[in-house]
């Protein structure tokens, strides 16, 4: 049975074009890019070519791109750098719905004496800009607010936030791991100082990411050692994966508009069918102003994990939330922050699409899901 993979916010398949671009640098062209001989210089040249492609995806300059291992490293580096370069300031502003890569770092810094403001969101997952304005003072070292939420796909008002913080001369970092390659991003017009990307969310390999650091922004590296990345991130470069990420960003940029239309069409078809065919189902988050690929639905009176197990028997892969939280019995902190009732959170399922999904796959889910929901409702211990 062939899998129907609808968990692309957790990770994505490596594109064939990306794999082919990487392959020579895993075997034949294996030189260390820091070496002066031609084998190393050839690899160095390809890394710089990839840097240009990544920069083009987000409207940056090549020298503003720092290659990292993942989105978590990018998020940690950005926030810790802001604290180290603004030692007289001890205040971080973020939201209650950030990825654990931001939230858990903030909790750690809070235990060390830093002041953290966790901004709320409304029932649709939106941020009230007045809450942000009220949180700003002269002690703020950095504001870290995600571009798009990984569970609901809700987009944050990044341009408005960036302009406000630029006027206040406060550093602005955004976790764009779920947004990069899915929607247009231009760091210049958005007044972003630092931005994190993870390759495996846009059809590049796992273990490669990017931190964009705007030219002129004070910066302190997380990893100390060699001279790699112009002294901004020590360690021998993950050459093949960097090259793969460059190709993935090139593909995303070239096909962005057509993919947005195609993927959002698949999402909307599944959403409409679920809301029509499955009673007591509810869309989590606003219908508009969200990622084109993300659908978070709750099925009341049943357990979302049970839905996933039965979907899996039909070859359908979906999620009950963030992959980084799987195995945890805790309710979704995102849906809790949106004041979704516990009995509704319990039945939440996230479907997330990519360009490799098809209408036939969506039709298959529409065919099997109502029966699964009805069966679980019949045996549910949660009442109805």
CA dihedral in degrees (148, 149, 151, 152; nearest 10)? -70
pLDDT in tens, 20-70: 999 999 999 888 888 878 777 888 999 999 999 999 999 999 999 999 999
261 and 247 within one domain: no
Looking up residue 186, the CATH number of its domain turns out to be 3.40.640.10
Residue 378: both structure tokens together:
């019949």
Distance, CA of 211 to CA of 173 (rounded, Å): 10
> So what's the pLDDT on residue 57?
98
Residue 322 has pLDDT above 50, yes or no: no
Q: Are residues 34 and 83 in the same domain?
A: yes
237 with 293, same domain: the answer is no
Domain membership of residue 347 (yes or no) is yes
pLDDT in tens, 180-211: 999 999 999 999 999 999 999 999 999 999 99
Q: What is the domain-level CATH number for residue 355?
A: 3.90.1150.10
Co-location of 146 and 63 in the same domain: yes
304 and 291 inside one domain: yes
208 and 346 co-located in one domain: no
Strands (E) across 217-374 are located at: 281-283, 294-299, 316-317, 348-352
Residue 119 predicted with pLDDT over 70: yes
Over residues 215-237, the mean pLDDT reads: 94
For the chain, what is the domain count? Answer: 2
- The pLDDT of residue 150 is 97
Query: Which domain, by its residues, includes 130?
Result: 16-251
Q: Tell me the per-residue pLDDT of 61-99, one tens digit each, with 9 for 90 and over.
A: 999 999 999 999 999 999 999 999 999 999 999 999 999
pLDDT > 90 in the chain, percent: 90
Q: Report the percent of the chain where pLDDT is more than 70.
A: 97
Looking at 225, 251, 277, which one is the last position of a domain?
A: 251
Q: Do 72 and 216 fall into the same domain?
A: yes
Is residue 328's pLDDT more than 80? no
Same domain for 146 and 275, yes or no, is: no
Same domain, 229 and 277: no
Is 324 annotated as catalytic?
yes
Could you tell me if 315 and 380 are in contact, meaning their C-beta atoms sit under 8 angstroms apart? no
Sole residue written with tokens 């820091």: 34
384 within a domain of the structure (yes/no): no
Residue 52 to residue 266: CA distance in whole angstroms: 32
d(CA 105, CA 79): 9
The catalytically annotated residue of 70, 106, 317, 324 is: 324
Q: Tokens for 20?
A: 């082919």
DSSP state of 16: H
Same domain, 99 and 235: yes
- The b-or-e profile of 203-237 (16+ CB within 10 A means b, else e) is bbbeebbbbbbbeebebebbeeeeebbeebbeeeb
């Amino acid at each position: 049975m062939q899998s129907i993979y609808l968990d692309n916010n957790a990770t994505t398949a490596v594109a064939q074009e990306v794999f082919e671009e990487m392959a020579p640098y895993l075997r034949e062209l294996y030189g260390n890019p820091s070496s002066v001989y031609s084998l190393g210089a050839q690899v160095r040249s390809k890394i710089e070519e990839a840097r240009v492609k990544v920069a083009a995806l987000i409207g940056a300059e090549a020298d503003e791109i720092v290659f990292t291992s993942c989105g978590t490293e990018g998020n940690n580096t950005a926030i810790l750098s802001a604290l180290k370069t603004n030692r007289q300031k001890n205040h971080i502003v973020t939201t209650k719905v950030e990825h654990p890569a931001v939230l858990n770092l903030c909790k750690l810094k809070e235990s060390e004496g830093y002041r953290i403001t966790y901004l709320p969101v409304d029932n649709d997952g939106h941020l009230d800009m007045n809450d942000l304005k009220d949180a700003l003072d002269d002690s703020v070292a950095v504001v870290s607010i995600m571009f798009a939420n990984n569970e609901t796909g809700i987009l944050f008002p990044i341009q408005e936030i960036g302009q406000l913080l630029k006027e206040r001369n406060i550093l602005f970092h955004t976790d764009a791991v779920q947004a990069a390659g899915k929607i247009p991003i231009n760091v210049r017009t958005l007044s972003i100082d630092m931005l994190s990307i993870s390759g495996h969310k846009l059809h590049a390999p796992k273990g490669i990411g990017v931190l964009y650091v705007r030219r002129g922004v004070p910066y302190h590296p997380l990893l100390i050692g060699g001279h790699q990345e112009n002294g901004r991130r020590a360690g021998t470069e993950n050459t093949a994966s960097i090259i793969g990420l460059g190709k993935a960003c090139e593909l995303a940029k070239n096909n962005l508009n057509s993919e947005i239309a195609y993927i959002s069409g698949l999402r909307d078809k599944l959403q409409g069918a679920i809301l029509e065919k499955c009673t007591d189902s509810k869309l989590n988050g606003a219908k508009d102003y969200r990622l084109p690929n993300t659908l978070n639905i709750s099925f009341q009176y049943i357990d979302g994990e049970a839905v996933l197990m039965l979907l899996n028997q039909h070859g359908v892969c979906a999620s009950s939330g963030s992959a980084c939280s799987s195995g945890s019995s805790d309710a979704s902190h995102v849906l809790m922050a949106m004041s979704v009732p516990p009995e509704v959170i319990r039945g939440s399922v996230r479907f997330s699409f990519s360009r490799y999904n098809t209408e036939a796959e969506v039709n298959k889910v529409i065919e099997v899901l109502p029966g699964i929901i009805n069966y679980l409702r019949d045996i549910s211990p949660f009442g109805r």
